[in-house]
Structure 1
């Protein structure tokens, strides 16, 4: 009934990503970053020094650093040790008594240890919302997006994403910043999240989107620097949407023939308008190649979008 020993497996890459049903865009002014159950007791089930735990910790670290820089609240969940039978209840039937009290098992892994401004919630069930005040905290701060990282993907992370959806909170399920008992279970969690309750994406894509979302405190004229659109950056965004390798997409290729449908184009329009480029769906659909889009975006970034949502 205890946590099983987890054999090494390859962390998912962009080519492994499922197709999202929604086109949500992460916003630093709306988001909370969740680091789920990264305690020694749970992390020790992985093979130390091997995938996926190496990438897991490194990607969560990168995300946390970016969130702190952007003023996104960081919230941890941590299960208590030596739980009373009444508190643990049915979890005992599936997983046994759980972790023990003490200075090691209960602690968050050292490389991700919380600091003074981080919030650590005591967690009693799979969902980070159950018997915690996470929902109340988000409501009080006017935040309705939850970026989910940690373990285990198909258990607590996925159930938290489902509950976020049921509370009208947009969940962002970071594919290479969660890990699981096996590659199959990891993939199952991603497929379910993308199809039912969340937007799945890779760490680097999330970092890029967060970095280029205007701050709530900025007005258009106060933006520190103009975003630069390159064929490479556009190709990376398109590859993420198509779940393909960027190396396989040519600059002059017709992206409509490759499968970039209207929903995905509108996702790009929304993101690029947030970055200050006044483009429309029709313009992109008429010239559906990376090289043509790069020329268009480079021109349009010179002008401030008149109806941009600077809150």
Structure 2
């Protein structure tokens, strides 16, 4: 199996909203560095919208709220990947238009072109991009691992329920340290 590490929605504005874990970015940086050391591609996924939000429908409550707040317009400083985990030149950065990393993006094309059939998921928020991407990737028959402490959510209880109860039904769930030990073998 060929794997990729997905670093999803770890953007300045999102990190600023969900700042409950001061060690999160350094843990995620270790996962990224470990993936690179093991020759596992790191693919970044961001959420961004065109000015005027033409891709946001009024019936989509979460995205409509984002549009009202005028957040995440392409090129705005808040949409940049946080500098502590920033991509290197040549890294693939995918822009999505919905919660799932697959929706409104070319992620599936990039993965298939590289022969990647297994994904390691990290990102903010556990209840948004991670959950949505996990569901869609499962339907697309990808092998899946979720790094439980490589994900973060505004609501710690929702994060706990997802990583301890729901995600294990579809994916392997591991800590960053346990995953790093497994890929170093």
TM-score (norm 2): 0.88
The counterpart of 1:85, out of the listed 43, 48, 53, is: 53
Contact 1:144 1:170 in 2 (8 A): yes
Higher strand share: 2
Aligned length: 179
Unaligned 5+ runs, structure 1: 1-28, 213-311
Q: How does 1:189-204 map to 2 (within 5 A)?
A: 189-190=162-163, 191-195=165-169, 197-204=170-177
Q: How does 1:288-303 map to 2 (within 5 A)?
A: none
The counterpart of 2:8, out of the listed 20, 26, 36, is: 36
Unaligned 5+ runs, structure 2: none
The counterpart of 2:38, out of the listed 70, 91, 106, is: 70
* Pairing 1:156–2:129 present: yes
Point out which structure has higher relative CO (alpha carbons under 8 A, 6+ apart): 2
Deviation at 1:209, TM superposition (A): 0.5
- Report the CA distance shift for 1:46/1:114 in structure 2 as closer, same or farther (over 3 A): same
Q: What CA distance in whole angstroms lies between the structure 1 residues aligned with 2:51 and 2:96?
A: 11
The counterpart of 2:89, out of the listed 93, 103, 116, is: 116
Question: Deviation digits for residues 225-268 of structure 1, max 9, x if unmatched?
Answer: xxxxxxxxxxxxxxxxxxxxxxxxxxxxxxxxxxxxxxxxxxxx
Report what 1:180 is aligned to: 153
The counterpart of 1:107, out of the listed 80, 84, 88, is: 80
Q: What CA distance in whole angstroms lies between the structure 2 residues aligned with 1:142 and 1:102?
A: 30
Q: Which has the larger radius of gyration?
A: 1
CA-atom RMSD in angstroms: 1.8
Deviation at 1:194, TM superposition (A): 1.1
Q: What CA distance in whole angstroms lies between the structure 2 residues aligned with 1:80 and 1:131?
A: 10
